[in-house]
Amino acid sequence: MYTISKAERQLKGEITLAGSKSISNRVLIIRALCETQFPIDKLANAKDTDLLQALLTSNDDVRDAGAAGTTFRFMTAYLSTQPGTQILTGTERMKQRPIGVLVSALSTLGAQITYLEKEGYPPLQIGPPVSFGANQRVQISAGTSSQYISALLMIAPTLPQGMELELVGHIVSRPYIEMTLALMAYFGIEHTWEGNLIRIAPQKYQARPFVVEADWSAASYYYAMAAFADELDLQLNGLFESSVQGDSVLAEFMQAFGVKTTFNQQGIHLSKTGGTLARQFDYDFLLCPDLAQTIAVVCGGVGITGRFTGLETLRIKETDRIAALENELAKVGVQVEAEPTEADAAEYFRFSGRAVVSKPAPEFATYEDHRMAMAFAPLAFFGPIKVHEPEVVVKSYPDFWRDLETLGFVVQK
């Protein structure tokens, strides 16, 4: 457990953010599917990325993805294209996270995948691609995790007939699908996307050097601190103005919380807008679900009522993130309530109340979820807080606590 505190309500300094985990993991899969290796500069230093890189170069018959959901999903599709038979497993929590939607789609394409324990869940036995790609057309729920869809798209050009992927229903997390397709296009893969049908013909990935942009999800924690600070002068290096990351929407909507973003050659500079804050912040997080936890904490910290929708995928992340937010925000006096809606209406959640960090220091659980640890850390602006299992940040941002110390936070380990 760490105790986090900050003596002054100012945020000044410079942080060079690590490469995006989302981009890094996709580019690693593309490189593994490419016939020629190519250099990747500024690859994420996240544990998930290191693990994926190790699994892609492993010759072991049993490969353990640990608690890394993206890694498990991408490896499921990748191993379906590889010779031999492998077992893909993970932590006990991973064995509780559904994989059936992806396995069903891969099986339709001809993959040989068997559940070794509970139907629809890891671990998996993945056989050789004897008839993989015999079928070209496959359907998948568009309301499921975009990582299932991205996993299928990346292997599509390597299949004998390519792939016609039909997204059934309302599409969630569309920017992550667009990110995948944009990265594939960088490496020479053409596609068409008409309505809910994505077509990718058989093609070969073309090797090209690649530079990974910094992670906008990681930037969100500094935006939260910026919203809480009385004095603000912060430079975040490595972010691109023309970003393939959906979370770059931060630069626009954080103005509602008094944070101004200025792009420069190194990345972005954060300063105060000087404007009056709104009383309520309404937002649909369907396109950027990974920001929801951070912005929920921001709303509580500045005392703005948040009214969120588009949180459908939050219950199947590293933890049930909605339940986790409800539990932990209650410790500082912020309420989370589901608003009653009509049968077919979107589900709304209301975050109300102003966070009060009192003594003794509130202790926040992290639920084996890196984003819970980092989303709640900015509350240290209002008084000392304690964070359980703080090392969980290694999943996506190993240097997080060290970087906080450079900005004047005291991290007692």
Handedness of CA 288, 366, 5, 380 (dihedral sign): positive
Which secondary-structure segment (H or E) carries 124? strand 124-126
Token readout for 389 is 């299992």
Choice among 64, 247, 290, 369 that is catalytic: 290
8 A C-beta contact, residue 274 and residue 265:
no
Task: Please spell the DSSP secondary structure of 250-292, one letter per residue.
Answer: HHHHGGGGTEEEEE-SSEEEEEE---PPPSEEEEEGGG-GGGH
In sequence order, which residues have a C-beta less than 8 Å from that of residue 89 and are 6 or more positions away? 62, 63, 64, 65, 95, 116, 122, 123, 124
Handedness of CA 241, 242, 243, 247 (dihedral sign): positive
Q: Report the distance separating Cα 53 and Cα 44, nearest Å.
A: 11
Any idea which residue has 């891969």 for tokens? 106
Peptide bond into 340 cis (omega under 30): no
For residue 248, give the amino acid letter.
Answer: S
Q: Report the distance separating Cα 209 and Cα 56, nearest Å.
A: 19
Sheet of 2-6, strands arranged across: 363-364, 385-387, 2-6, 409-412
Q: Which of 205, 199, 202, 236 is nearest to 221 (CA)?
A: 236
SS3 assignment for 191-260: CEEECCEEEECCCCCCCCCEECCECHHHHHHHHHHHHHCCEEEEEEECCCCCCCCHHHHHHHHHHHHCEE
Is 290 assigned a catalytic role? yes
Token readout for 376 is 């709640």
Cβ neighbours of 195 (radius 10 Å): 7
The 8-class DSSP code of residue 94 comes to G
Q: Which residues are catalytically annotated? A: 290
